[in-house]
């Protein structure tokens, strides 16, 4: 052997150029590490799915003739840390070269660079061949700008990749963005997308994790793990979504329903973030469905925007602003998360649903993450860093490069408005309009103050009152501040009193 090549747990792309030919001088290393199972408390399904997918990937490489050294978490040769394992393996194989694909997380990027700098062998990092924009594309595009609008980045990407353009290079259908058309609640029809995901029994793997003492949250469902674990399963999920889910994706993108946690969402984020699928093939599949008149333009555009726009853009924000970004806290919010973030046991039905579902499925769709859980956290003044840890652990697709800008930037406005043009917050009216959650709630959504009032209402108005000094000048919030000005003094005092009482008893809500 001459060269060791490290494959990380979220680098499971069988089409990477590394694998285009078999070379006996190359050994691929895959390591199950406690630093990865433990850097945050993960959802059990996330631990299981990542490790099971890594094992699949190793088996696939071996079957294709590649040399692979797979070090399981409980294998006697596992030295514990990344560095100790790499040192030992370098020596064992007497390798002269070491390569790795650029990690997506700052933490690992630093760690590998520091380790490589100490080696005498030739070390080299290569592209992961996954993303469509280089790490620093957003910082170059927005150089000198105070706010970085996703829409600008997205249009740039549409043009660069020639996606949904007309013959003159303008946007297909005359508009870049059909978001206004995508805001329907779901009231029982059309029939939601059937769950076509595979099911795997990984009870033995779960036992191994328990024996090793790895802490986890949420329901493992180890005997029926329902996430795609290799590319072929991910492709099948993509095809099923394009055919049956995409036609309605746009219309019901923001809708929420207690019995239908997923509605028309794709559930592709795990497959994308572990690189089983490439973003470009997903974008092309959606664009082709529109070209073949199988889906409306608004649906294809809405879906493509998430991947070609948001996903690439948040990664750009991450690489431009790390490591400082992780500690940003614009409103200086310090409250710990209420205990029911780990049980779903709260009388607020929307939060009980969104958190309960997250614990059960390791999944919530975007609006549940943003406009229910994140909305509450921002209004209640929860610590964005504590919230970030929670989001980073609980979701099947949570990797810091995508989770952190979404949580701190989009959801908590902790970066002071770099990413979002205004805080994404609402009172109960939005949740009532977009879901059926309020129907079964013990709180009264039409009340703004008092013990029975929906906590979102008092917290919402109080949030804008408290932050008038920094937010009142924002033109996108002019209406909110006009309404506040028109509110009579007694109402305003009652709201403040209720909001204060709510913040004192978050654990018992």
Give me the 408-427 binding string for ligand FAD, x by CB under 6 A, dash otherwise: --xx----------------
Element (H, E) at 87: helix 82-93
Q: How far is the CB of 423 from ligand FAD (least distance, A)?
A: 12
Binding status of residue 375 toward ligand FAD by CB under 6 A: no
By the rule CB under 6 A, 13 interacts with ligand FAD? no
Tokens standing for residue 382: 């929860």
**Tokens standing for 86?**
């790499």
Q: Please confirm whether the linkage preceding 384 is cis (ω < 30° from 0).
A: no
Three-state SS for 284-340 is: HHHHHHHHCCCCCHHHHHHHHHHHHHHHHHHHHHHHHHCCHHHHCCCCCCCECCCHH
Could you write out the DSSP letters of every residue in 91-126? HHHT-SEEEEEPPSSHHHHHHHHHHHHT-SSEEEEE
Rounded CA-CA distance 304/9 in Å is 26
DSSP codes, 454-487: -HHHHHHHHHHHHTHHHHTT-GGGHHHHHHHHHS
Q: Please pick, from the candidates 161, 395, 460, 464, the single residue that binds ligand FAD as defined by CB under 6 A.
A: 395
CB of 95 to ligand FAD, least distance (A): 34
Indicate the residue among 96 and 278 with the shorter CB distance to ligand FAD: 278
Q: Print the binding letters for residues 289-318 with ligand FAD: x by CB under 6 A, - otherwise.
A: -----------------xx--xx--x----
Question: At its nearest, how many Å lie between ligand FAD and the CB of residue 326?
Answer: 14
Say whether residue 397 binds ligand FAD (CB under 6 A): yes
Among 16, 130, 257, 365, binds ligand FAD (CB under 6 A): 365
**Rounded Cα–Cα distance for residues 440 and 437 (Å):** 6
Choices 30-38, 63-71, 350-358, 390-398; region in contact with ligand FAD by CB under 6 A: 390-398
Closest CA relative to residue 59, chosen from 228, 207, 229 = 229
Determine the angle formed by the axes of helices 150-161 and 312-321, rounding to 10 degrees: 120
Nearer to ligand FAD, 99 or 411 (CB): 411
How far, in Å, are 58, 172, 224, 334, 470 from residue 32 at the CA level?
A: 12, 46, 22, 34, 46
Is there binding between residue 226 and ligand FAD (CB under 6 A)?
no
Residue among 26 and 410 whose Cβ is closer to ligand FAD: 410
402 touches ligand FAD by CB under 6 A:
yes
Q: Which is nearer to ligand FAD, 406 or 498 (CB)?
A: 406
Segment lying near ligand FAD (by CB under 6 A), choices 9-17, 130-138, 393-401, 445-453:
393-401
* Count of residues that interact with ligand FAD, criterion CB under 6 A: 27
Query: In 181-207, which positions are buried (b, 16+ CB within 10 angstroms) versus exposed (e)?
Result: bbeeebeeeeebbeebebebebeebbe
> How many Å apart are CA 390 and CA 258, to the nearest integer?
22
Nearer to ligand FAD, 253 or 432 (CB): 253
Measured distance CA(118)–CA(134) in Å, rounded: 27
Q: In whole angstroms, give the CA distance from residue 377 to residue 212.
A: 33
Give the range of 25-33, 118-126, 351-359, 368-376 binding ligand FAD by CB under 6 A.
Answer: 368-376
| Site pattern 440..479 for ligand FAD (x: CB under 6 A) | ----------------------------------------
Q: Which CB, 66 or 388, lies closer to ligand FAD?
A: 388
Which of 266, 353, 358, 375 lies at the binding interface for ligand FAD (CB under 6 A)?
A: 266
- Binding segment (CB under 6 A) for ligand FAD, from list 45-53, 228-236, 259-267, 489-497: 259-267
Among 225, 267, 378, 438, binds ligand FAD (CB under 6 A): 267
Q: Which stretch in 42-50, 128-136, 264-272, 465-473 sits in contact with ligand FAD by CB under 6 A? A: 264-272
Instruction: Tell the burial category of 146 from Cβ atoms under 10 Å away from its Cβ (0-12, 13-18, 19+).
Output: exposed
Q: Give the nearest distance from C-beta 368 to ligand FAD in angstroms.
A: 8
d(CA 366, CA 266): 11
Distance CA 397, CA 145 (A): 30
Q: Where does this chain bind ligand FAD (CB under 6 A)? A: 265-269, 272-273, 306-307, 310-311, 314, 365-366, 369-370, 374, 391, 395, 397-398, 402-403, 406-407, 410-411
């Amino acid at each position: 052997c001459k060269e060791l090549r490290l494959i990380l747990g979220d680098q499971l792309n069988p089409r990477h150029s590394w694998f285009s030919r078999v070379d006996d001088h190359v050994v691929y290393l895959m390591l199950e590490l406690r630093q990865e199972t433990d850097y945050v408390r993960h959802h059990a399904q996330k631990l299981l799915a990542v490790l099971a997918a890594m094992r699949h990937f190793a088996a696939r490489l071996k079957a294709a003739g590649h040399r692979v050294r797979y070090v399981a978490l409980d294998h006697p040769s596992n030295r514990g840390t990344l560095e100790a394992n790499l040192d030992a393996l370098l020596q064992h194989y007497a390798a002269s070269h070491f390569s790795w694909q650029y990690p997506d997380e700052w933490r690992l990027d630093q760690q590998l660079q520091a380790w490589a700098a100490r080696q005498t062998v030739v070390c080299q990092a290569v592209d992961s061949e996954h993303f469509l924009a280089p790490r620093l594309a957003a910082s170059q595009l927005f150089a000198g700008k105070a706010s970085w609008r996703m829409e600008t980045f997205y249009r740039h990407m549409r043009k660069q990749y020639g996606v949904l353009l007309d013959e003159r290079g303008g946007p297909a259908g005359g508009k870049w963005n059909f978001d206004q058309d995508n805001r329907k609640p779901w009231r029982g029809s059309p029939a939601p997308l059937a769950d076509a995901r595979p099911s795997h029994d990984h009870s033995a793997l779960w036992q191994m994790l328990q024996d090793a003492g790895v802490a986890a949250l949420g329901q493992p469902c180890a005997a029926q793990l329902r996430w795609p674990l290799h590319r072929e399963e991910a492709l099948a999920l993509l095809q099923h979504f394009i055919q049956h889910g995409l036609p309605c994706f746009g219309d019901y993108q923001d809708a929420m329903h207690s019995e239908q946690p997923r509605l028309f969402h794709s559930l592709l984020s795990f497959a994308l973030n572990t690189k089983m699928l490439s973003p470009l093939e997903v974008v092309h599949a959606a664009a082709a469905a529109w070209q073949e008149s199988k889906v409306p333009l608004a649906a294809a555009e809405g879906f493509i925007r998430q991947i070609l726009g948001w996903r690439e853009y948040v990664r750009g924000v991450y690489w431009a602003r790390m490591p400082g970004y992780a500690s940003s806290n614009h409103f200086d919010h310090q409250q710990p998360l209420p205990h029911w973030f780990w049980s779903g046991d709260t009388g607020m039905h929307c939060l009980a649903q969104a958190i309960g579902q997250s614990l059960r499925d390791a999944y919530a769709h975007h609006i549940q993450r943003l406009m229910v859980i994140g909305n509450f956290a921002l209004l209640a003044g929860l610590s964005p860093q504590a919230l970030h840890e929670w989001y980073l652990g609980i979701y099947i697709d949570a990797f810091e490069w995508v989770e952190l800008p979404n949580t701190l930037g989009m959801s908590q406005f902790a970066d002071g408005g770099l990413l979002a043009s205004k805080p994404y917050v609402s009172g109960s009216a939005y949740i009532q309009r977009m879901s059926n959650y309020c129907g079964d709630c013990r709180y009264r959504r039409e009340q703004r103050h008092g013990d029975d009032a929906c906590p979102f209402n008092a917290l919402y108005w109080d949030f804008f009152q408290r932050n008038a000094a920094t937010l009142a000048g924002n033109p996108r919030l002019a209406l909110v501040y006009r309404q506040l000005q028109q509110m009579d003094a007694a109402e305003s005092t009652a709201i403040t009193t209720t909001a204060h009482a709510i913040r004192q008893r978050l654990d018992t809500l």
